[in-house]
Structure formats: C-alpha cells, structure tokens
Structure 1
Amino acid sequence: MTEPSASPWWSPHVHRDRRPFLTARNAIARAVRARFEACGFTEVEAAALQVSPGNEAHLHAFATEAVAPDGTRRPLYLHTSPEFACKKLLAAGERRIFDFARVWRNRERGPLHHPEFTLLEWYRAEEPYQALMDDGSALLALAAETVGAKTLTWRGQTADPFAAPERITVAEAFEAFARVDLMASLDASGATDREALATAARAAGFRVAADDTWADLFSRVMVEAVEPRLGQGRPTVLYEYPVAEAALARPAAHDPRVAERFELYACGVELANAFGELTDPAEQRRRFQAEMDEKARVYGERYPLDEDFLAALAAMPPASGAALGFDRLVMLATGAARIEQVLWTPLAP
C-alpha cells in the first residue's frame, strides 16, 4: 500500500498553518522597503530574462528561448541574480539602488533552498563594502523587531539579531575551527596551491580525494568545520575570502591574496553575500572564462558571457553590493522550519 502524499500548500488547513509566516513576510518586506527608501535608495526591477544567467561554476540556471515573429530562436536564461542588470544601472548613473528580485537556480531543493526564491540586492556607489556589513546587521534587527522576535532561530540554534556581529576573516576561521593554515596555500598574487591545502587538510583530519581541486578542499573545510560554527549566539560577518573564491570582488588593498568579500551568518545559516565590486572588465572576463572552464570540466556545460555587462563594467563607478536571501531572513525571524513555509506559492516537490 502506498503512503498518502502530503496535502498541497493550497489545502485550507495547510494554508491556515502557513499564513502567519506569510503575513510576517509581507510585514518584513514593507519594513525593509521603508528603511532603504529612508536611506536614499531607489527600488529597481531587474528583468528576469538575460543572455547570461551568471558565470559561476557551481550555479545552475533554467534555460529558455525567445522566438521572434519570423521564427528565429534566441537562447535566454532566467537570471540567478539581478547583479548584472543592477551594475548596468550603476553604470547608467544610479547611485543607491535595491531590488527584491525573484531569481531561479536549478539543482537546488532543501529546507533552505528552493528553485525560485527572492534575493534582496542592494548597491552603494562610491562607498566601501564595510557599509554593507552595517546594512546587513541593521536588516537582521529590523526583521526581528517587525515580527516581535527576540532571537533568530534555526534547528535549535539561536542568534541575537540586536547584537553587534562578530567579525572574523576566512583565514582566522580556518585556523580557529579547522586547524588549517589557509594562507599557506596562496602565493603572493592569490594563486592557489592545491598540494599545500591538501596536506594541511589531511593533517587536520579531513577527507582528501585524489581528484579534489583546491576549491573542492576549500569548500569541504568550510561546510564541515567553519559554517556550523558561525552565527552562534550573535551574527557573524566572515570576510576577506581568497581571491580565488570571489569571482566578482576586487582584491583587498592591503593584501592581494584576499578579496573584498564577506558573508553574513546567523544560526549557522548563510544569509548574505557581499562584495567590493570588481570594475576591471579585462580581469572580470578572465575570471568568468576560468569559472566557465571549471563548469565545463565538472558539468560538461558552460554559459555565455554577457558582453553588454562587460562593456558597462568599464563605465561603472567604484561600488559595493550585497545579496541577501530574503526568504531565509524571514525563516529565521519567524522560526519557520522550511523555506516552503515562507513562500506564498511554493513549487510542488
């Protein structure tokens, strides 16, 4: 006898249980919009259809096509982030912008992942990326205050949204939580040394496979030892990623081995990813091509480069930008256990 399937989200009793999360989502969205507008930001709406969905090796897009009246077909993608479009707007002259963007990522489904979700992205032209750290902290407090939550919660873990975040570099976190000297695997330019990291990881007790790349080992240490320790009790800002792990960020002025990239964590959950933006089109092209070479090696496919974006990059002012998983923010503020609880019309599993 087959097991009965779970009731769909539109069943009245299921919707009744979900509705408090959904109305909380709306309230948080209103509060966030009001805050950005009070700070001089303009809300924008990036088009979802793009010639390139982004050029990160491990992000997977939904492909489609446009059919012209004469039947000519043009491949397009649903964007994985509004980043390219927002940076074009900065090149056009916008200075402070934000977007509640619906985005799509394939091969992603789980308690914290959904194929279609909302990224809250915002950009500050000619402002340092440290300003985004303050923005992120303020948004956590605002979400909690809006729904009357004293703590953020996820699977038994808690974080005080009103506490000043801990700030720790990636290298410090690798040393503290994994006993791995990350910087010893980077040369003066930021190029990676796979054998150095493999030796350090193996000595610290991590599994090392013969075909693991430096990036594979970096991700394993992050997922197994570092991320679960972040955002415990209070939020964490994890900053200064190796340049090899920051394809869209500029190198730090004080050390070219690391980049102006940070991630914001609470309760062990990654909430936001931010950059001091790279504005060198030649270097960006090189990084994109390297990412697509890796995608072709691992997955047997590659995405086109957005030549219009690379052209706009040359006219873009120095800027900083952040992407925050809005659904996750709502989850932690409301205590929801699964992302589907905070989505009005989730995709059936």
Structure 2
Amino acid sequence: MQKASPWWSPHVHADRRPRLLTRNAIAASVRAWFAERGFLEVETAALQVSPGNEAHLSAFASEAISTGGERAPLYLHTSPEFACKKLLAAGEQKIFSFGKVWRNRERGPLHHPEFTMIEWYRVGEPYQVLMEDCAALLALAAGKAGARRFAFRGREADPFAEPERVTVAEAFERHAGIDLLASVAADGATDRETLLAAVTAAGIRTAPDDNWADLFSRVMVEKVEPNLGQGRATVLCEYPTAEAALARPTAHDPRVAERFELYCCGVELANGFGELTDAAEQRRRFVAEMDEKERVYGERYPIDDDFLSALSIMPDASGVALGFDRMVMLATGAPRIDDVLWTPVAETPR
C-alpha cells in the first residue's frame, strides 16, 4: 500500500490550509470573547510535579536535572487545572488559559497526544454559568467558520440552539433503562452488584473483574454518549460523586456532584465543575484515584501537596475545560482532529 504524503507536502498543506486559517480566526474570536467579559488570560507552566490524579489519564514523564546533577521527576501537564487553582488561591477572580496540554496513550480521530485546551474559572459563580459560556463559544465558533450545523459521523447538531440539560441518572434511564442511583448510597458509596445486575439486564457485556466505575463507563460508552448532542448540544450534568473527583456534591443530593460535560454530535467537548475546596476530601479522592490507576496500569503519580495547600484557601469557584481542537474540527467539518492541527505529532511505531 502506498504511503500517504506527509502533512508538510505542499499539496497536502494547500488542502489543509483553509481549515487552519479558520482555526486561527476562531482562536482570535475566543480570546476576544473572554477579554470582553473581563477575564484575564494566564500562562501556566507545562511542567508540573503532578500531571493530575485521575485514574485513566496518562502523562508524559520527564525530569529536572540540577546543576549538581540531582534529578527530580516532572510531568507535562494533562490540564492547567492545578496551576489555575493556585492563581485563584492567590486572589485572581476570572481567568482563562488557552494552551497546550499532553496526554499519553491517546491517539485517534478524536484524540491527539498534544492538543489545545481552553480552561476558565469564575470565582463566586455557580457552575450553571459555565454551561452558558460553553453554548456561547459553540455559536461563536460556528459563526466564525460559517457553519450552520455541526456534523460528525452521521450525527448533526445546531450549534446556535440552546443545549438540552440532562442529568446522568436521566440519561442512564432514557438510553439504557438503568436506575443508576439505585447503586449509589446517600454518602456517595457505590454498589457494584446492584449496577452489575442492571447492566447485565440491559444486554451490555461485562468482565468478571469490572468494578462499579468500569460498569459505569461501559454504559456511558455503549448506550449514553452516542445519543448525546444530536439535533442540538447536550449538557450532561450531576455525575455520581464517585465519577467527579474534583467536584463538590450538589446541595440537593449528596449522591451526585456539580460536574457536567458538553456533547455535540456524540463528541465530548467540555468538562466542568463546581470546584471542590475541601483539601482533606480532595486528598482522599486523589489517593483512591491513584489506587485505581495502580490496579489498572501498574503506576501512580505523585500528589501535589502544594496544590492541596492552595486549595485550602481557594474561594468557591466554578471551572471548565474545553477541547479547542475538537470544537474547530466540528466547526470546519473535519473528519479527524489531525486535520485542524498546524503540525500534528509524528505517528509512533505500532
């Protein structure tokens, strides 16, 4: 089979260039949108002592070498979240970061090892305001691209329509016939056997070593996510607290947390939280996440004690991260995320 020409071939670049120019135009409009609303753009260090403590996020590892030869591990961040929250603790009120992040073990039509993330925070405002921000950015991107509709793999959505809001429990009932919260106790503890019975009854295949989180993920991937963001965007909210390690519980039900994700054409675009500010609880959740990471992948990442110290004085805030490349991909009708990156990362041998 003939090898495809590289992205830097003049004829390939000529085909890619219109989408790349649209990317630049959308980026400029996004920055202007935040500036008009009083946000301060911040640049956070890409190298961190911890890349994040979510079980299924994999980082790129590096190390710092001192002039004396001492070595200390560092990681390329998977999100600017820890650094941004330290800035909130320092006194900033409305900030956004627009920059590169890195995630290992991820490559495909919707995934790239290096990608661009927009992440922003509002001190003293509820996380529902972030849902409205996301809807505004979708419309902004569509308008700049001249797109009346977004489409991906046979699914379409109107980027100018107000997104529907659906709780995770409602989505499980609607798309899988599963009463999710029947497997979640009042304190947020999860019951594997109850969820396993419901997942099996729904005809979803399971593995003997699946824990509650694995079963939750299987339902999300097979039954829920493909049905989200059709016709218009979907805000999926109120995740079980076990699936929201960085979010505070909702005031009306401690079983669920102030976490939401934005979907369009079945594609996840954003992940937002009413931020947890209880440092002791955050440490407990990080340890649990790293225990799970060690069980699945045989490794764990350090916990950033400096971040937890900052969290203890951080004011109440809401924050969200949005995948800029995916949004541009939908706005320009690109079939793959690589098509809207100026210089894609080289493919590694399989």
Band the TM-score falls in, shorter-chain normalisation: over 0.9
Aligned partner of 2:37 in structure 1 is 39
Question: Once the two structures are superposed, what CA deviation does each residue of 1:74-118 show, in whole Å capped at 9, x if it has no partner?
Answer: 110000000000000000110000011200000000000000001
Distance of 1:279 and 1:162 partners within structure 2: 34
Aligned-partner residue type, residue 214 of structure 1: W
Residue identity (%): 74
State whether residues 81 and 101 of structure 1, in contact with CA within 8 Å, keep that contact through their aligned partners in structure 2.
no
Residue identity in the other structure for 2:311: L
What letter matches 2:124 in structure 1? E
Q: Equivalent of 1:49, from 47, 50, 53?
A: 47
In structure 1, list runs of 5 or more residues that go unmatched: none
For residue 253 of structure 1, what is the aligned residue in structure 2? 251
1:153 to partner: Cα distance? 1.3
Deviation at 1:132, TM superposition (A): 0.2
Distance 1:327 1:302 in 2: 28
The one-letter code of the counterpart of 1:244 is A
Take 2:288 and 2:68, find their aligned partners in 1: how far apart are those partners? 36
Are the aligned partners of 1:8 and 1:348 in contact in 2 as well (CA < 8 Å)? no
Q: Can you list the C-alpha shifts for 1:132-169, whole angstroms capped at 9, x where unaligned?
A: 00000000000001111101111221100110111100
Structure 2 equivalent of residue 163 of structure 1:
161
Q: Which amino acid aligns with 1:64?
A: S
Is 1:272 the counterpart of 2:291? The answer is: no
Q: Distance in 1 between matches of 2:294 and 2:207?
A: 20
CA distances 1:285-306 after superposition (whole Å, capped 9, x unpaired): 0000000000111111000000
Matches for 1:328-339 after TM superposition, within 5 Å: 328-339=326-337
Q: Give the alignment of 1:1-349 within 5 angstroms.
A: 3-349=1-347
One-letter code of the match for 2:296? V
State the Cα deviation string for residues 181-203 of structure 1 (Å, max 9, x = none): 10000011110000000001111
- 1:20-44: CA deviation from partner (whole Å, max 9, x where unpaired): 1110110000000001000010000
Give, in whole Å, the separation in 1 of the partners of 2:185 and 2:261: 23
* CA–CA separation in structure 2 for the residues paired with 1:60 and 1:208: 24
What secondary structure does 1:75 align onto?
A: strand
| Cα distance in 2 between the residues matched to 1:140 and 1:250 | 26
Find the residue that maps to 2:254 and give its secondary structure: strand
- Provide the TM-score with structure 1 as the length reference: 0.99
Whole-angstrom distance in 2 between the partners of 1:66 and 1:190: 39
Secondary structure class of the residue paired with 1:251: coil
Residue type at the aligned position of 2:121: Y
Q: Distance in 1 between matches of 2:196 and 2:154?
A: 33
Aligned pairs, number: 347
**Hey, what's the Cα distance between the residues in 2 that align with 1:133 and 1:87?**
19
Could you tell me which amino acid in structure 2 is paired with residue 241 of structure 1?
Y
Give, in whole Å, the separation in 1 of the partners of 2:42 and 2:284.
29
Q: TM-score, normalised by structure 2?
A: 0.98
C-alpha distance in 2, partners of 1:256/1:61?
31
Q: Confirm or deny: 8 A CA contact 1:51 1:76 kept in the other structure.
A: yes
- In 2, the alpha carbon distance for the partners of 1:152 and 1:166 equals 16
Q: Deviations over 1:231-265 (max 9, x none)?
A: 00000000000000000000001100000000000
Shift of 1:6: 1.0
Q: 2:116 is aligned with what amino acid?
A: T
C-alpha distance in 2 between matches for 1:324 and 1:338 = 17
Look up the equivalent residue of 1:213 and give its one-letter code. Answer: N
Shift of 1:208: 2.1
Partner SS, residue 260 of structure 1: strand
